[in-house]
Amino acid sequence: MSVKVGLISDTHGLLRPQALQALQGCDYLIHGGDIGKPEILEALKAIAPLTVVRGNNDTDDAWACDVPYEAVLRIGGLAIYTTHILADVPKALPEGVRVVVTGHSHRPLQQMRNGVLFINPGSAGPRRFKLPITIGLLHIDGDEVRGELIELALT
pLDDT tens string 109-147: 999 999 999 999 999 999 988 899 999 999 999 889 999
What topology does CATH give the domain 2-151? Purple Acid Phosphatase; chain A, domain 2 (3.60.21)
Domain ranges of the chain: 2-151
Kindly report the pTM of this predicted structure: 0.96
pLDDT of residue 128: 86
pLDDT of residue 59: 87
Nearest one of 42, 45, 46, 25 to 139, comparing CA atoms: 25
Q: Read off the pLDDT of each residue in 45-54 and give the average, rounded to a whole number.
A: 98
Query: What are residue 148's DSSP bridge partners?
Result: 137
pLDDT higher than threshold 80 for residue 35: yes
pLDDT of residue 30: 98
What is the average pLDDT score of the chain?
A: 95
pLDDT higher than threshold 90 for residue 61: no
Measured distance CA(93)–CA(80) in Å, rounded = 10
Q: What angle do CA 101, 106, 111 make, to 5 degrees?
A: 45
